[in-house]
Structures are given as C-alpha cells and as structure tokens.
Structure 1
C-alpha cells in the first residue's frame, strides 16, 4: 500500500528577529560578517530590508526597478545565498522585506515602465500600472521637468530612439524619432510635464504623494506572478524563511493579495506593515502572523508616559506657543485640518479620479444622474477626512467605519440639503447599498487606497509634526491626544495578542520611527517632571535670546528644538539640524518641501547652532544628566517588555545597546557591531554604562527565548501580576507560561519623589525564582519591591524547577 506523501516541513517561526538596513555601504557581505555576533546575541532570524534590484545608490531599497534580480550593489543573488548559508550554519534564518505596492518611476531602469511608455496601452506591460489613459488624453503624465515644458525645450534632446532630459531617458514611439521636437513630444504615449503638475494632472497611481514611485497592480495574477517569482524561488530554495510586507493598505485587495502570497510561499511566517489605530483590529481573515509591531510600540511607550505630567506639558505648550501652531485646536482638530490640506492639495488628482469613477456610477443609474461632480467630490472628501482608520476593507467594513455620524457631519459642508444627498450616494456605493459589481468594487478599492494615503500623509507626515507638546508620542501608530497607557490596558493588550496573534511582530525602533526608543525615553521622562522642563526651557530660551544676532523662529519650532536636544543630552551637530529642517518642512506651516522659505529655514538652523549646539549645550547636558537614572529605568523597562511580551520581537540594528537616532536618513546609517561589548555582557561585566547594561539584558532575554521557545510561542500563556502597596502602580509584572517572570519599574522619577517603594510587595507564583540578570539571587513568595529592584530597575526571573536547575 502506497503511503501518502509527507507534508512539507515549514521553517519554525522566529523567536526574535534583527533588522538590518542593507545599502551599498552595508551589503550582504557586511551582514554575513555580522552573523556570528548576531547568533551570539541570541536572535533566531535576520530581518533584511528589500533585496531586489533598486535605484543605484538607494539607502533603503523600496524603490525597486527589477523584481527578477537580487540587487547587484548588495552582492547579487550569490551574495544573498552566501549570507543565507552562513546564517544557516549559525542557526539563523532570513526574513526579507518585500514591496508589492510600487516601483521606482525611472523609466531608464524600470523595463516594464519603459515598454509601457514606448508602446502605450497596447503594451503587455501596461497592465502592471494603474494608469488612467483617458484622463491624460491617451498620454501618461511624467512630472519630471524642473520648469514648464516651454522653458525646458533646450534641455531635451533626441538620441536615436531615446529622448533625454538631463539624467532621465524615455523611449520614443516607433517612427517618431525624426519629427520636429514639439511634434515629437505630442506623438508620444507620455507627456513630459513640470513637476508641480503632479498635484492636479497626474494620471497614474503612486505611493502616497511620491510621484517617483509608481504603483503596481499586483491584484492582476500575471503581475503578481511576475513581481513575486524571484522571492518565491528564494523561499522555495530555503534561502528565505519569512516575509515582511510593506504597506499592504496601498493595494486594491490586501486580503486577496495576502492569500495568494500565503499559497505561493507555502505558508511561511509573514507579518504586514499595518498601522492599527486605537481600538482597531487586524482583519482576522488575513493569513498572516500579525503586524510589524507598531501597535506594541504604542502600548509600551504609553506605559512609561505619566498622564498627569503629559497634561501639564500640554498646558505649558499652549502658553509657550501662544496657541497651538496649527492655529487653535487639540489633536483631533489638528488631524482634521491636516486632512483637509492633504486631500485638497497633495491628493487632488487622486480625488478627481475617484470623482470621475463615482460620476460614471451615477450616470449608469437614471435615478442618480443629477448628482453634480462637484457635489460628489465634496462628499468623497468629507467622508474620507472623517475616517479614523487607514482604510476600510470591503463593503461590510466600510459600513462599520463610515458611520451615520460621519455622514451627518459630512453633510454640513453643503449649503443646500438637497445637494448634501451626494454624501448618501457615495456612502451607499462604498457600503454596498447599490449592490456589487466590477465598477462598484473598483470604486470601493480606489477609495480605500486613497484613504490610506490620506491617513498616512495627514497624520504621520503632517499632524505629528504640528502637534508637539510631547514628541515621544508622535510616533507611528501613536495617539498624541491620549499618550498614556495604564498597566491594566497594557495587560489587556498582551492577553489579546497572546490569544489572537501570538506570533505577531513587536517593535520599539524601526527604519520608519521618527525617534529611536531611547530618544523617546529621554522625552517621555519629561512627563514626570514638567516643572523642571518649564524651568529649563525658560533658562535656555532666555540665554539664547541674549546672544547677538540670534532670532528665534516660531515658538513651536523652539519648543521642538529644546525637547529634541534634551533627548540627546549631548551635542548632536548636523544630525539635530537636519532633523529640525525636516520637522518644519513636514509641518508645512512656515515652509515645506515644495514651497521652501529660505529665510525661515535659516532662522531654524541658526537657532540650533546658537542654542543646543552653542553655549546652552552645557545647561542641557547637565539637565539630561540629572534625569539619566530615570531615562535608564525607562530604556531598560521598555526593552525588557519588548523582549518578553507576547509576539516576536524585532530588534532594529544597534538597539541592543544604547541607541539614539532621529528620523531617516539619520536612523539608516550603516550598522556597526561591538563584539567586545557582547562578550563583556555575557561575562557579567555589563554594569558600567547603559549600553553594556542594555546589551546584557538583551542577550539574557534572547537566550531565554531561544532555550525555551514554548514559553513565549503560540501555545504560551500570559498572566498579569499585580503588586500591593502604596507604590503598586509603579510596577508592571507578568509571568510567561509559569516559567519566566518579568517585572519593571514604571515612572521611576515620580516613584522617587513619592518616597520610593516602601513596603510595596509583589506576590510571586509558587516556587523558587532565580534572577537571570543578577545570578545568585533567588526569590520566593511575597517579595518587597525595594529588594526585588535593589540591583536594577528591572528583573527577569526564571522558575528554578522548570528550567532544568
């Protein structure tokens, strides 16, 4: 009797991943050289940034130009396979970041785009891209010219069958190369245009508002196969063990895409870069392990933010700035104003395309034909700005998030009630009220894609830079309007993760965080001492104002300058200056990326040089030094929670030690590794400084995860523990599977000011518990927290009888 074929054995899920930012300055060979160190650190998988062919010199790899090739600048496919072999020899696997939503719009490097531009909509590659040919009168707009086309004719030249403009190259339609230049331009399947036309004339879908990244239609099975063949090959060959999916919300059908990828990859461990707002849940039908971890970041950061102090900082901010810099309003109002700005300005062309699609739907129904395009456009915008999530998925989800209340508020934008009925029409198309079909489904998908771009640009890239009372709260997935998280809410989150998504990713610092976790800790501690912060701010601003020739920019920028400087605690030079310029440009209140005000920007840079990088640096350093013990408690506490809470922790390169980095490109500098620090940490000599201490903690926690994966995995348990006594709220503790116990100090400065732990105690579960971080210490029964935390502000205990002791 023939036996059934054996089921394929899938790679085991990661116990911990380590993110490496690959780039020409840190290629596969550099990652391979780091493998022994990372294996000794205790991670199970290397998490690689995108590995496919990208724009030459790219430091991030999200600007893919060829899905069929591994990037030459990183060492090519052989370099990747060599890295995989070395990693495997050290017991490590590889997780790779993939980019399904977009490619670089550089036609000279992007062959599918080149062929589409040369052959037009008849090209077999035209289906790759979401181009509205009708809107462009049969041409796709390429907004690459520095000025209007009439001013750039002399910079355009024909080179055989190629049209060149500076470093750009474009294919010529067959038979047009000998035409006079004006006629030649008109004869192409594309229209070269001034870069400013992208806002209103662009007729291809892009990544957010970045015209240099053209979106890809992976919902088409042929396009999916072509763009994923190399990745699937690497998975099936055992080179790649897991996947991280970049921005699935940009896709027409995220759930369908993830199902197809799940089948193609054989069910490999996969996480998605899905940002969940407070109260939002990941769609249960998605065949993934979970998210990349911004929801966990929000919980951990909030736990170390004092709610009363955050309120005091908000009051100080209002008084210092005179009024919120967005001209009056709290967080929700700031988001709403930013949303209107983005939806009417940066996303104008996307909204126009939605309007045309909606008007076609109306025209097909005699009862709906008299809804004017302007009314439909207004209804679309008013509903979209009221979404509190990135996007709805399908008609049922749209009905849930596009509420009756949102519809009522949206109607307030209309002067005539009869015209406000357009809101109901749009909402019914989105929620299935007018049935289903290709056109309705297409409109619904495009609404979702545009909504995700709006949310990202208005919240993360605008409102976070405008609403700045507490910079540590303006992080991806965060809620600056409610920055604190209670221990009870943290425990509830962890219990839910363990139940629903036990192998989800968790994160504290990533390539997309605006400030690393350790910098955020230096800012969050200000919520424990708002009075000290106010005194420092008065001192340094007065001192800087007294310097000859120094003028302060607007008060909000001044606030941000000093809060960032305190987080660094030491002179940061060019890094601080560049981050502050990005801050004010993203805020878009006095200058922006597209309408820069050189005079204002000069004020900002001169103020940074005269202030935090000038004489006041000693005052700031002294202030930061006084808070250092409490920043230390937060850094170590956040790190230990991240490493032991439900989920799979992802460590960003360098964060096993003290790591202070600002927004990209500052946080994408090539990684460096310190084997000596790791060796000393493993030998128990890690008490000299925060870097050594954090390294020792990280290595110890990762070793436990590697030795006992069942304690932290999908079948593990999570048990909240609560201290008793006057200082109980300053302790967060839990047990994992009855074998590991974690306890951390929360808001240590407030604790110190209130008199310390006193007789506050924690009842340990039955048995003897040994200290992993300070060997030789053992505890049982009820333990005074003053004794438990006598060596460090955090403890990691293991149950002696359940760990082989």
Structure 2
C-alpha cells in the first residue's frame, strides 16, 4: 500500500495528535515525570514530549549540552528509569516523543566529561573520534579558557603539570595532565618532561585567552557558544555512533517519535533527515526550523513539519490591531529614537555587529576558504582577502533567512537562486562598485556554479565547503544577530520579536491567515503547532496580553507617560530608552494575580535582555554599575504604590480583552492544522519570559486540582477557563482524530460577515467534523456596537458546543447567539446515530 502523504509517518508508524512538553531536570526526573502521566491522560494528551534524555554536562537544566551519546542522563534516572517511564506511558495509552540534539556536543569543564573531545585533544588525528568535530585541518584545537593571555599565565605559573586518574579512562590509571584552576587537559605522550612553553607547543590543542575565541576559534560552534562544539553528523560513522542508543530505544518501543533541534547548524539537513527517516522506517519527526515570512519548509526534507514557530507568530499577529502601529511607534521613538520604519536598519546593524565580534572567527574561516579557491585559480587570483571579507559580510547581512537550501553536487533550486540574487542585489548597494566582480564570484561559489577556470570546480572540495559553510554561518548570524540582538533592540511591540516572528509586520489579515493554514494542511498536515516553547522569548499568555494592549494604543501611550512621570525622581540618568520601553511592556503584560512577576525573576530577565541587546552592556563586557541602577529602578517600580495603582487600573481596564486574546490564542493553536503541543503548565495562564524563566518548575498537583475543579463545574477565572478549553479540545481531537491530523484532514475558512470573526472547519472524508469561531480585535468590535446581526455560515448538519453543550443548526448563525459572552466557541458535528443513542 502506498503511503498516504509524503510528509506523514509511514504506515504502521505512530502519528501524534496532541503532545505535552516536559522539561526534565535533576529536580524533575523520569520518576517525577511518571507521576504526571495520569494527569496528562485526563487532560486528553496523546503523546508526552521530552527534552533531551542523553547524558549532558552534570547539573544541566535543559539537556542540550550532551557529553555522552551512549548513556541516558544518570541524573534523570538513567536508562532503567526512562524505560520504566516509557512503559508506564504506553500502558496508559500515551506515546513518547524525544528531543534529539544532532548538531553539537558540550565542551565541558573539565573536558574529560566529554570522552570524545578528551580523546581528540589527547590523540589528535589518531583518536577514534578524530572525524567527529568540525575542526580546521592541520591546526591545534583552540581552547579559549584562560583568564589572561598565555604569556601572562606562564609567567604567573598558573598552569600545573600533574598526574591524576581520568574518570572517563579509569583503565589507564594515573596519567599526566595540565591543570588550570577547574580546567584539566591531556598531555601528549612523551611531552611531559619538556619545558612548559615547549610542552604547550607539542599538544594537539592550544590554550588561549578567552577573548581570542571570537576571532580565532577554529572549530564550528553552536552559534557563538564556545562550550558547544559542532559535530559532523553528516559523516555516517558519527551519525551512527551519536544515534545508536536512541535507535535502540526506538527499536524496543520506548520512543515513538522525534523532535530535532537546530537542523540549520548541520552541513546537510536534507541528508540528515533522510537518514533518520530511513533508519526509523518513517517515524514522525518535527524539525526546529525557523522560517521567513514567505518561506516554506523544503518539500524534499523527510520530516513531518516544523516545531510550530511559523503558526505561532501568525496566530499572534492575527490578534494585533494594525491601527496601533503608529501610536505605539511614537512611544518607541520618544523613548529609544527608533522609528517604526527603521526595523531593517536595526537588523542590518545587529547582524553586522555579531559578524564583527562574536562570529568573526566563523566568517573569517569561510573567507579563507574562498580566498584559497581564488589563489589556486589564475582567473580569480586578483580577488583579495579583504575584498572577499567585505563582500561576504554584506551578503550575509542581506540574507533574509537561515539558509538557501543549496546542496553540493545537487541541482540548485530556482528558489535558492532567487533568494541569493535578491540578497546579492541588496548587498551591492552597501559596497563600492569596484567590488561587484568579487561579489558575483562569491555568489557563484555559494550557489555551486562554475566560476573561474573551466573544470576546476569539479576537482576542488573547497568549493563544496563554501556552499556548506556559507549556510551554516548564515544560520548562526540570523540566530545571534536577529533573534538574540535585534529582537532585544526593537521595542515597537515586543511580543512580535518572537522566535520566527516578523516584527515589522504589525498585524495580519484574515485572508493571509487562512491562505497559510490551507497551504499547511495540504503540504504539512502533521506539522507541529506551538503556543509556548522552551525557547520562547515570551510565553503565549504574555504575548496574548500584549496583543490585547494594541486595542488601546492611545491609552497605552498615556499610561507610559504617567509611569514615566511618577517614576522620574528615581529614574537612572543613563537609563537606556529601549530597555525602558521593554520594561513597561513587560511589567504590564505580567501584571496578573496568577503567576505574578517577582523581583528576582524581573532582575534575571532584564539582565539577560540588556546583555543580549549589546548596546550599553553585554555578556563579555558587562556595565555592572548601569545594570545595578536598572535593576534597582525596576524592582522599586514593582513595589511602588503609585505604579501599582496605575498598573492595577490598566489591568482592570483591559482584563476583558486580555481574556479574549488568551483564550482565542489557545483555541486557534489547538485547532488549526497540525499536531498541537501544550508546553508544560500552559494549560493555565503563565507569565513566563525567556529561558530559564520559561523552564521554571510546574506545580502539577495544582494543575490536576484545577482540572478536577473544572470537571466539577468550577469555571471562574481565566485559569479555569483556559484549562477547560484545553482539555475539551484535546479530547475533541481524540474523538475526531482524522479531521485534525491525517491524510484526509481538511481545513476550510467559513464565510463571515465580519472581519472580527475568525471561523474555519476541520474535516475528514465524511465532511466537516469540528468548527472554530473566534473573536479578534474585541475593543474595535465593541466600539462599533458588537456583533449586532453579523453572521457566520456553519456547515450543514447539527453542531454541539464542546464546552456549553448548546446545539446549533448548520447554515447562517448569528455570531452574537453563537458566541454569547465567550470570545471563542468550538463545535463538534453531531451524527444522527449518536444523537439517537443519547
């Protein structure tokens, strides 16, 4: 039998319906997670979705810093307790999704915690792991760990040659090592008796001042994180070794599906996913792929879809009032000097900043490869290194996405040519006209085209390396320059600066939303939809509240003016305007009785946000005095009676609209095409900000009590309403699974007479089975008199409200009667035979 859809799991493989993400930590182990499983079943979840389970650095709070692929995380309980967890989950009817980290491994302190890295540092090319890491050939591996320059460290005698037993190599007994405080490094055999400065020269690694890393690091990193080294999973032996344990657990039925972390860091994502798909027999796999506004996941990737950022930003933007763009832009301009039209400039500046600083080593490494190609070809020899770097910098700055999907040895898609040509044309405007020829050579190399002397390209592996590394560098610059820099500088509406978001798209119209969802249903019916993730800069409820604020733009501007006036006596003289605008939006969006903001959480968030902004402080050069002034000001605001009064009044004024946005966000996320993910705790309202705040412990007994209360009729408050809605839709998805995630699932926009109504039907081969009708921009709706006689056309048949149980006939229905006091209604088709039984 033919598979029903190229992006659905193969026949016989499990397809998730509704996942629930659990963040495992040493404080929340497999056994703790096992205790939560009955609650997840009651909630209506079909798949429990775990953060990485392989052995990370000791004490890891997230699991993405893997050091050993051959063991399950001992601090979580090891393989035995994972298998017990999985067995219990399956006994309860749940399936298990596990997060894979194929792109990188940790470079821990001490290094011997990573046996593979220790072996490479010790044995170099003789190591059995010599092909694992993406290190520049023929060079000592740079270890930028010293607190001062190497000459100063030697003069002070801070390096100690000693003997110790290495826990990862106990069979070798004591061996010679170099110690530098907490750092331990191997010593090449036969060099231990040499003078220290000679000994250092004879190692396969080079110890260096930590500041040297950004300029001279010679191994590929995860973005700009020196302690996460890229691995060459494109090599079959590395793929097999790093996935063997996961595949063994999969083969024994303990894992059903996979989520893949950061595929843009890989040399060949397409090849990786095909290998994973083939090995698992077509298991459901979601890729953490961040797409541009007009970008779709490549059809030749053997995955079932993304992790949902593309859907998430559209659901949010749909509820942002476009009329607020100018008033909120005026607030931003007054505080920060940024105009609403300046976002492209902010992005270009931020990308240039990271290229020139934290990612300069990666860019220079790529430029060196291009320059070597030119030097070996008479026709290209006059393109200087400096001109190559300048053109490369401009081209990367103007790339509007993570990669162009060019694969060495494969025909280059026209869409990739279009993307790179557009970037080339924008880049040229930044350059001296004399560099056009160099720019065109660079673009040809990146596209894998013939350039220079005929026939040389087929004999030069460096040309393939340019294609690969350009895309890896582009992804890193997009992540660090845009998401982790520009998104912290841009404060127009901070909820739009989300992973995968489009901050200068202030609002989204219904037609664009329906067109995207229809395309998603056709091409990627089992993709994932997300509201909150472990990487979210703000959780779904914080973003929803900020969307609600756009319904009150003039009132918001007035509130900011009042807050600034009453806090003027305490405002630091050097308070950064961007940070101040971020502060007011953050305080207002987290000003709730449920999960209230605390001084310690606010301090941690503002410190991280300010350092990621990289304008007046940073991680590498923190301005601690200004940071302390900012934190003192912010935490004082939390306790100031006048500030409290103003924010209480704002909360009261906007509470109804906030409720609408919170509930509509959840309903849409769980009923649009795809596998709906519920991030731990997001079935009630949360004020979570960027990690580690969004990885805080969750009170599962309290959640279970809330669900029990909802079942007993306790529906007061937004938390209870959100819990009731989440559980009701999750159970609906189980009853109507073919309408939500299958080859026969359908999505159809429903006709409405008001642009304030979002309405669509989900169906299967029998016809429509579920309908969602939701409210958007409720303040404007109220200003024009409410729904009045506006209608939505329901599909034929009879429909039951899954929350209230009210029945509705198909055909034109008055929105006022359909929705009543609620912002959203979800309906289920009532079959005649079902009705007769009742």
Question: Do the two structures share a fold, i.e. TM-score over 0.5?
Answer: yes
1:108 aligns with 2:112: yes
Looking at structure 1, the residues matched to 803 and 650 of structure 2 have their Cα atoms a distance apart, in angstroms, of 29
Looking at structure 2, the residues matched to 627 and 405 of structure 1 have their Cα atoms a distance apart, in angstroms, of 43
1:440 aligns with 2:463: yes
Q: Are 2:247 and 2:280, in contact at CA under 8 Å, matched by a contact in 1?
A: yes
C-alpha displacement at 1:125, in angstroms?
1.0
Looking at structure 2, the residues matched to 155 and 264 of structure 1 have their Cα atoms a distance apart, in angstroms, of 49
SS in 1 for 2:501: coil
Structure 1 residues 207-265: Cα deviation after superposition (integer angstroms, max 9, x where no partner) = 00000000000011101101010011111111000000000010001101111111112
Call closer, same or farther: CA 1:11–1:402 in 2, change over 3 Å.
closer
1:331 aligns with 2:343: yes
C-alpha displacement at 1:319, in angstroms?
2.6
| TM-score (ref. length: structure 1) | 0.95
Looking at structure 2, the residues matched to 350 and 575 of structure 1 have their Cα atoms a distance apart, in angstroms, of 34
C-alpha displacement at 1:405, in angstroms?
4.4
1:139 aligns with 2:158: no
- Map residues 246-285 of structure 1 onto 2, 5 A cutoff: 246-285=261-300
In the other structure, the counterpart of 2:424 is 407
In the other structure, the counterpart of 1:4 is none
C-alpha displacement at 1:625, in angstroms?
2.4
1:423 aligns with 2:423: no
Call closer, same or farther: CA 1:314–1:633 in 2, change over 3 Å.
same
Looking at structure 2, the residues matched to 770 and 132 of structure 1 have their Cα atoms a distance apart, in angstroms, of 63
1:13 aligns with 2:15: yes
Q: Are 2:798 and 2:807, in contact at CA under 8 Å, matched by a contact in 1?
A: no
Looking at structure 1, the residues matched to 782 and 373 of structure 2 have their Cα atoms a distance apart, in angstroms, of 65
Q: Are 2:448 and 2:467, in contact at CA under 8 Å, matched by a contact in 1?
A: no
SS in 2 for 1:335: helix
Q: Are 1:117 and 1:190, in contact at CA under 8 Å, matched by a contact in 2?
A: yes
In the other structure, the counterpart of 1:763 is 793
Q: Are 1:105 and 1:214, in contact at CA under 8 Å, matched by a contact in 2?
A: yes
Call closer, same or farther: CA 1:415–1:494 in 2, change over 3 Å.
closer
Call closer, same or farther: CA 1:655–1:442 in 2, change over 3 Å.
same
- Map residues 663-702 of structure 1 onto 2, 5 A cutoff: 663-673=690-700, 674-685=703-714, 687-702=715-730
Looking at structure 2, the residues matched to 320 and 359 of structure 1 have their Cα atoms a distance apart, in angstroms, of 45
User: Which residue of 350, 355, 374 corresponds with 2:386?
Assistant: 374
- Map residues 136-535 of structure 1 onto 2, 5 A cutoff: 138-153=139-154, 154-160=157-163, 161-323=176-338, 330-394=342-406, 396-397=412-413, 399-415=416-432, 417=434, 419-434=435-450, 435-436=457-458, 438-535=461-558
In the other structure, the counterpart of 1:606 is 632
Q: Are 1:392 and 1:401, in contact at CA under 8 Å, matched by a contact in 2?
A: no
C-alpha displacement at 1:777, in angstroms?
4.2
Count of residues in correspondence between the two structures: 787
SS in 1 for 2:795: coil
Looking at structure 1, the residues matched to 624 and 401 of structure 2 have their Cα atoms a distance apart, in angstroms, of 36
User: Which residue of 657, 670, 675 corresponds with 1:648?
Assistant: 675
Looking at structure 2, the residues matched to 433 and 169 of structure 1 have their Cα atoms a distance apart, in angstroms, of 46
Structure 1 residues 657-693: Cα deviation after superposition (integer angstroms, max 9, x where no partner) = 11220111111112221211111223332x2111111
Looking at structure 1, the residues matched to 629 and 832 of structure 2 have their Cα atoms a distance apart, in angstroms, of 62
Looking at structure 2, the residues matched to 59 and 454 of structure 1 have their Cα atoms a distance apart, in angstroms, of 25
SS in 1 for 2:792: strand
C-alpha displacement at 1:146, in angstroms?
1.8
Aligned alpha-carbon RMSD (Å): 1.8
Looking at structure 1, the residues matched to 253 and 338 of structure 2 have their Cα atoms a distance apart, in angstroms, of 57
Q: Are 1:249 and 1:452, in contact at CA under 8 Å, matched by a contact in 2?
A: yes
Looking at structure 2, the residues matched to 279 and 245 of structure 1 have their Cα atoms a distance apart, in angstroms, of 22
Looking at structure 2, the residues matched to 59 and 787 of structure 1 have their Cα atoms a distance apart, in angstroms, of 48
1:731 aligns with 2:743: no
Call closer, same or farther: CA 1:369–1:562 in 2, change over 3 Å.
same
1:124 aligns with 2:148: no
1:752 aligns with 2:749: no
Looking at structure 2, the residues matched to 167 and 443 of structure 1 have their Cα atoms a distance apart, in angstroms, of 37
Which has the larger displacement, 752-761 or 232-241? 752-761
Q: Are 1:739 and 1:802, in contact at CA under 8 Å, matched by a contact in 2?
A: no
SS in 1 for 2:311: helix
Looking at structure 1, the residues matched to 10 and 485 of structure 2 have their Cα atoms a distance apart, in angstroms, of 47
1:720 aligns with 2:749: yes
SS in 2 for 1:804: helix
In the other structure, the counterpart of 1:45 is 47
| TM-score (ref. length: structure 2) | 0.91
Looking at structure 1, the residues matched to 261 and 106 of structure 2 have their Cα atoms a distance apart, in angstroms, of 15
1:707 aligns with 2:735: yes
Looking at structure 2, the residues matched to 465 and 394 of structure 1 have their Cα atoms a distance apart, in angstroms, of 31
SS in 2 for 1:192: strand
Q: Are 2:335 and 2:580, in contact at CA under 8 Å, matched by a contact in 1?
A: no
Call closer, same or farther: CA 1:170–1:403 in 2, change over 3 Å.
closer
Looking at structure 1, the residues matched to 338 and 665 of structure 2 have their Cα atoms a distance apart, in angstroms, of 33
SS in 1 for 2:184: strand
Structure 1 residues 492-520: Cα deviation after superposition (integer angstroms, max 9, x where no partner) = 11111110000001101000000001011
1:585 aligns with 2:611: yes
In the other structure, the counterpart of 1:569 is 591
Call closer, same or farther: CA 1:545–1:237 in 2, change over 3 Å.
same
C-alpha displacement at 1:803, in angstroms?
8.3
C-alpha displacement at 1:184, in angstroms?
2.0
5+ long unaligned stretches in structure 1:
1-6
Looking at structure 1, the residues matched to 680 and 10 of structure 2 have their Cα atoms a distance apart, in angstroms, of 33
Q: Are 1:545 and 1:552, in contact at CA under 8 Å, matched by a contact in 2?
A: no
SS in 2 for 1:781: strand
Q: Are 2:602 and 2:635, in contact at CA under 8 Å, matched by a contact in 1?
A: no
SS in 1 for 2:179: strand
C-alpha displacement at 1:802, in angstroms?
6.7
Looking at structure 2, the residues matched to 491 and 497 of structure 1 have their Cα atoms a distance apart, in angstroms, of 10
Q: Are 1:294 and 1:507, in contact at CA under 8 Å, matched by a contact in 2?
A: yes
In the other structure, the counterpart of 1:596 is 622
SS in 1 for 2:61: coil
Call closer, same or farther: CA 1:127–1:648 in 2, change over 3 Å.
same
Q: Are 1:566 and 1:621, in contact at CA under 8 Å, matched by a contact in 2?
A: no
Looking at structure 1, the residues matched to 627 and 833 of structure 2 have their Cα atoms a distance apart, in angstroms, of 59
Q: Are 2:751 and 2:792, in contact at CA under 8 Å, matched by a contact in 1?
A: yes
Structure 1 residues 560-600: Cα deviation after superposition (integer angstroms, max 9, x where no partner) = 11110000114532111211111111111111111111121
Q: Are 1:383 and 1:402, in contact at CA under 8 Å, matched by a contact in 2?
A: no
Q: Are 1:258 and 1:286, in contact at CA under 8 Å, matched by a contact in 2?
A: yes
Which has the larger displacement, 37-46 or 115-124? 115-124
C-alpha displacement at 1:750, in angstroms?
1.8
Call closer, same or farther: CA 1:321–1:376 in 2, change over 3 Å.
closer
Looking at structure 1, the residues matched to 586 and 345 of structure 2 have their Cα atoms a distance apart, in angstroms, of 24
5+ long unaligned stretches in structure 2:
1-8, 164-175, 451-456
C-alpha displacement at 1:558, in angstroms?
1.4
Q: Are 1:551 and 1:603, in contact at CA under 8 Å, matched by a contact in 2?
A: no
C-alpha displacement at 1:310, in angstroms?
2.5
Call closer, same or farther: CA 1:407–1:763 in 2, change over 3 Å.
closer
In the other structure, the counterpart of 1:3 is none
